[in-house]
Structure 1
Amino acid sequence: MVKVEKYNDNYTDSFNRLYSMAHGNTRANSDILSNNKLKIKLLKISQKIKGYILYKDIDDSSIKDRVHIEDIFIEKNYCNKANYTYLLESINKGFLFKKYKTAQIFLDKSKPYFEISDKLNLSMDQEIYDMKIFLNGYKRVPVTDNVSFKTFKKGRDEYTRMWIQNDLFKGAKGHKDFNIEDVLHEQKQIYFLEEGCIFLKYNDEIAGYAQVIYENHPDTKPYIVNFGIITKYRGLGLSKLLLNHTLNFIKRKDFNEAYVTVDSSNKKALRLYRKTGFSKIGSLGMYLYNYNSSKVSFF
C-alpha cells in the first residue's frame, strides 16, 4: 500500500537515512528541519518510508501558481514514474481545485536522481552552471585610490545589504525584493559568514556587493553568491576588482578552490568568470512538472 505522510519528529531517523542516500552520507542539517517555509512529505510503501519531497511556495506574485521543489528522492527499488507522480501530486491539494499549475525542480545531471527528468518527461526551463577556480598562485590585482572595500557588520549594515541586493537583481527572473526580515533570517543560517559579506566602494559610495557562504554537503566549499555591481557603476571594470578581492579573501581562509553558480544565459557573468579562471564542473537544470498533464487524482 502506498501513502504519503507529513513529516514529524517520529520520522527523523527514516528521513535522515534517505537524505544520506541522496546526498552522499550527509545528514539533513537543522536549517532544513527547522525551516518554517519548507514543508516535508514522506512516501510510505508497505508501512516503510521509501521517499521524500521538500517543497515551498514561491514568493513571487508573477508565478504564484508554481511550487518550488527543494529536493525529491525515492529509493532505487521504488524509483518509478508512478511513485514520483504520487509524491508530486500529494502536495497539490486544494479545497476545491489544485493549488498549483506547475512545480519547478532543480536537478543535477551528475546525480542518480536526475533520472526523474526522463521518467516524468520534464522540460528544462533554465540551466545553472556550477563553476570552480583553483586558487594556487592566484594573485591580488592592485586597485585605484577611488576603490575600497568594506566588510559587513551585524547591527549596522543590514539595510545596506537589503537595498544593494534588490538593485543587483532587479528585473531578474523569479526575483522578489529582499526585506529586512529576509536579511535577518539569513544571518541565522548555518552557511552565513559575516566577514564574507563584502561591499565595494567607488568614490566612497557603495557600488557593489559580494558574499561568500560555506556549502557543507558533504565537504566545506566556499561559494560566491549575490555578486554584482549596481546599475549606476557598471561598465567601469569594478566587477573584476570585486571578484579578485573576494577570491583573495577565500584564499586567506586557507581554501585552494572557490565556486560560483551562474545562469547559463548570463553571458556577461560567464565571460567574467571564465576570464578570471573559472571552469564549468557541472550544471543544474530547472525543470517544470505540469500538473495539468497528470492523470493521477487525489480528489
Structure 2
Amino acid sequence: MVFMKKLSIFNINYFKKLYNKSENAYICDKSFFEIYNEEPFFIKYIIRKQIKLFKVKNEYVGYIWYEYPSDEGFSNIYAIYLKDEYIELLNSQILSLSKVNTFRFDMLANSKATAIMKKLNFNVNSKNILMKMHTTTYNKNLDENKIIFKHFKEGQDEELRCEIQNSVFHEKNRIPLSAGDIKIEEDEEYYLKDFGVFICTENGQAIGYGQIICNNGLYTIVNLGIVDEYRKHGYGEMLVKYLIELCYRQSIQNIYIRVDKSNDKALSLYNKIGFKEYESFITWYKNIE
C-alpha cells in the first residue's frame, strides 16, 4: 500500500530526486525548487506543507504538489508523480487525509499521470486545446468607430472586472471572483500590466473582458468573454483581434488561447482568426468524501 508522508528538511533530498525524474505535466511559471530556494527559512517551512511524499515500505516513490486549500476547501494540484510499478498499489482514499474538499488537476492530455488520476478515482471535467498563432500573420480589420476598448486600471477597475467575469462564467462551475482575488493576481509573476481589456459599446458600457498573461513564457489570452445579451454580434472576435494586435505592437511574436474541445463555435472562430492547435489538456476533478 502507498502511504503519504509530510515533506521535511530530513527527506527533501528524496523529493528532489523524484522531482527531477518526473515530467512537467502542469504548466507552471517556475519549478518547485526555483520557488523554494528563493524564500527565507520560515516561508520554506510553509511551502513544504504543499508537498506530500508517497512512500511504500521504506522507499519514497512519488509525490503530490498542491496549493493550500481555499476557504471553501478547493485546491489545484500543480504536479503529481508516482513510479509506474507502484500505481496499482494506490488507494483512492489516500487523499482523504488532506484538508481539501475538492481537487482540480490541469494536465497535458498525453501525460503519464493519467493512470494515477484513474486509480485515484478522479473524473474528467473538461478537455481543452491550447491554440497558437503568429502575430505577424494577423490582419487588422476592426471598425473602431463603433466600439471602444478600455484597458484595465489597477486600483480602479477590479469591481467592474468582477461584474463582467462573474456574469460571463456563472454557469462554468467557477467560484465567484472577488476584488480581493484580482488584487492578489496583480502581484503574480504571470500578470501583465496594461494587458487587461474591456470591450465597450459606443456609450462606454463594458460588455466583455479579456486579458493576456505570460505563463511559462507563453503569452496567453485568458478570461475572455462577452456578457449574454451582447453575444452573437461579433464582439468576441473583435476583442480577440484587439488582444492579438496589442501583442503585435509589443513585438510579441506568438500568442496562445485555450478552448474547450467541445466548443465548436469558439474553435471555428479561432481557426478563422488564424489560431492552430498546439497542445491538448485534460482537467480532472475529485470531491473528497
Shorter-chain TM-score category?
0.7 to 0.9
Q: How does 1:240-255 map to 2 (within 5 A)?
A: 240-255=237-252
Q: Is the 8 A contact 2:82 2:116 kept in 1?
A: no
> TM-score, with normalisation over the residues of structure 2?
0.78
Bigger Cα displacement from structure 2, 265-274 vs 16-25: 16-25
Q: For structure 2, which runs of at least 5 residues remain unmatched after alignment?
A: none
Q: 1:165 to 1:103 in 2, by over 3 A?
A: closer
Aligned ranges 1:102-117 → 2 under 5 Å? 104-116=104-116
| Number of equivalent positions | 275
Question: SS of 2:145's equivalent?
Answer: coil
Cα distance in 2, alignment partners of residues 178 and 291 from structure 1: 23
Corresponding residue of 2:95: 91
The C-alpha deviation readout for 1:203-234, integer Å capped at 9, x for no partner, is: 11112111101111xxx110110001112322
DSSP-derived class of the 1:286 partner: strand
Q: 2:228 matched to 1:231?
A: yes
Q: Does 2:87 match 1:80?
A: yes
Counterpart for residue 195 of structure 2: 196
User: Pick from 264, 269, 286: which aligns with 2:266?
Assistant: 269
Structure 2 counterpart of 1:69, from 67, 77, 98: 77
Question: Does 1:42 find its partner at 2:42?
Answer: no
Aligned-residue CA RMSD in angstroms?
A: 3.5
Please state whether the residue corresponding to 1:71 is helix, strand or coil. Answer: strand
- The 2-side partners of 1:222 and 1:206 are apart by 24
Q: In the alignment, is residue 286 of structure 1 matched against residue 283 of structure 2?
A: yes
Query: Could you say if the C-alpha distance between residues 253 and 14 of structure 1 is closer, same or farther in structure 2, counting changes exceeding 3 Å?
Result: farther
Identity %, equivalent residues: 27
- Residue 96 of structure 2 aligns to a residue whose secondary structure is coil
Tell me how far 1:39 sits from its aligned partner. 3.3
Name the counterpart of 1:169. 169
Amino acid at match of 1:192: Y
CA distance in 2 between counterparts of 1:12 and 1:254 reads 41
**Structure 2 Cα separation of the partners of residues 89 and 121 of structure 1:** 9
Partner of 2:130: 130
Q: Choose from 241, 244, 256 the match for 1:259.
A: 256
1:250-278 CA-to-partner distances (Å, cap 9, x unmatched) read 22232221111111222322221121111
1:54 — aligned with what?
65
Q: Which runs of 5+ in 1 are unaligned?
A: 293-299
Distance 1:130 1:255 in 2: 17
- Shift of the alpha carbon at 1:11? 5.8
Q: What amino acid is the match of 2:158?
A: E
Give me the TM-score of the superposition, normalised by structure 1.
Answer: 0.76
Cα offset, 1:157, TM superposition: 1.1
CA distance in 1, matches of 2:161, 2:11: 38
